[in-house]
Amino acid sequence: MLGIGGIGMSALARYYHSQGHNVAGYDRTPSPLTRQLENEGMAIHYEDNPSLLPPHIDFVVYTPAVPHDLNEFEVLRQRGLPIMKRAEALGKVTEGHFTIAVAGTHGKTTTTAMVAHILNQCGMNTTAFIGGIANNFNSNLLLCKEKDFVIVVEADEFDRSFLHLHPDVSIVNSIDADHLDIYGDKGHVVAGFNEFAHLTHDLVIVKEDLDVVVENNVRFGFGEACDYRIEVIASEKGVTDFVIDGEGQKTEIRLPMAGRHNVLNATAAFIAARQTGLTPNAIAEALSSFKGVKRRFDIRVNNARHCYIDDYAHHPEEIRSCLTAVKESFPDKRLTLVFQPHLYSRTRDFMDGFAEVLAIADRLILLDIYPARELPIEGITSKALLNKVQMTDKRLCTKSELVALVDSERPELLVTMGAGDIDRFVEPLENMIKTW
């Protein structure tokens, strides 16, 4: 497995391992996830060296995040081995099982975890592949040992991966311009999601304002015309109460999460769970015990003096949703945001959008751009982004300076945000803040 340490790849690795396969893999850098996989018995190496490949390999799975000029990739191609993209392998795993696939440029990980939790909590045989660590399972994989089970999968639009899936029920909960290095423009992103929707056998669950045109769909949202309409929202201290009006009845939901975006995610999960035959009341009860996903509005410290939240948001609309929910939940606290931009191309494509939403914070600490798979782009830097943000209390910071800077300022409300390696700072910051 090339890129075995990725959140989606590691879940698939665990699944294969549970089925008795001998799983080995390569990743660029060790991480807590790869260490866990090694502890579970998988052989992983961190050097692009073909001599480290196992002598016998039946098939290869890769993530599109792995560069195609990887030496090991070339050697494996020359061997003539079957080579599959992660989503293609996932598609083969789902064959013969009732499958719920969750798609969207934002919200898919939380919604996938919600669906998995609901089905599992209600006693349904469920295997789920989640693009994050679901707190209810403390894992990115929910594994059912029975032969007959429902599969819940996160359907990733990056590199058009989700087109390898053939779900029975699918959710499309957001479509924004993203991955423009793949799609070119928003029109092609919308076309990709429509192509995915048309692969769905039974029902497509679509947020009300999305341009998805399929016959077998239901709409959800706040509008009067929705098949499942959200009513009466009250939110306090990170708990949200709302009502879903659909199928001729109203169901009261208590969700232990903040933000209208999470209300929408929960509503989509509610509709998907209904397709498996679960009752509205059983689904509502299950949602009340949902514990969220690590790095998704993840409240790490919340005491009388300080609050610290970590989030994976890396697109302007995700940042807007998260910071709006933070402000609603903690209206009296001054918000300090530490943001690590992810990808030069995304920073270039949405420079003005990032500048606008980062200004929602009261103080901004901006880290260098995390390059992931990309080479630098001339003129696209964190300094260029910082200059565009219309606020006075802002500064650049290196990763090596970050912990000391936060310790010296001791903000009352801290949010760390980004999809790069900013997650390596979460535990050190949490442990430090608890000592203040």
Q: CB 79: neighbour CB atoms within 10 A?
A: 12
Rounded CA gap, 160 and 173, in Å? Answer: 17
165 Cα distance to chain centroid: 18
> Active site includes 109?
yes
How many residues appear in the chain?
A: 436
Q: Which residues pair with 127 in a beta bridge?
A: 151
Residues 6+ apart with CB under 8 A from 100: 115, 150, 151, 152, 153, 167, 168, 169, 170, 171, 272, 275, 276
C-alpha separations of 139 from 236, 244, 378, 430 in Å: 28, 29, 39, 20
Rg (the chain; Cα; Å):
22
Residues 6+ apart with CB under 8 A from 408: none
Backbone phi, then psi, for 48, in 5-degree steps? -75, 80
Per the residue annotation, which of 63, 72, 94, 108 is the catalytic one?
Answer: 108
C-alpha separations of 26 from 49, 93, 130 in Å: 9, 21, 21
Rounded CA gap, 413 and 321, in Å? Answer: 17
- In the block, tokens 């990739």 appear at 73
Sheet holding 307-311, edge to edge: 298-302, 307-311, 413-417, 335-339, 363-366, 394-396
> Active site includes 108?
yes
Rounded CA gap, 421 and 60, in Å? Answer: 26
Query: Helices marked H in 210-259 — which ranges?
Result: none
Rounded CA gap, 390 and 381, in Å? Answer: 17
Per the residue annotation, which of 72, 154, 157, 317 is the catalytic one?
Answer: 154
Per the residue annotation, which of 94, 109, 112, 416 is the catalytic one?
Answer: 109
Residues 6+ apart with CB under 8 A from 198: 214
Among 167, 73, 159, CA closest to 129: 167
CB contact at 8 A, 320 and 280: no
**Residue type at position 227:** D
Q: Catalytic amino acids?
A: 108-109, 154
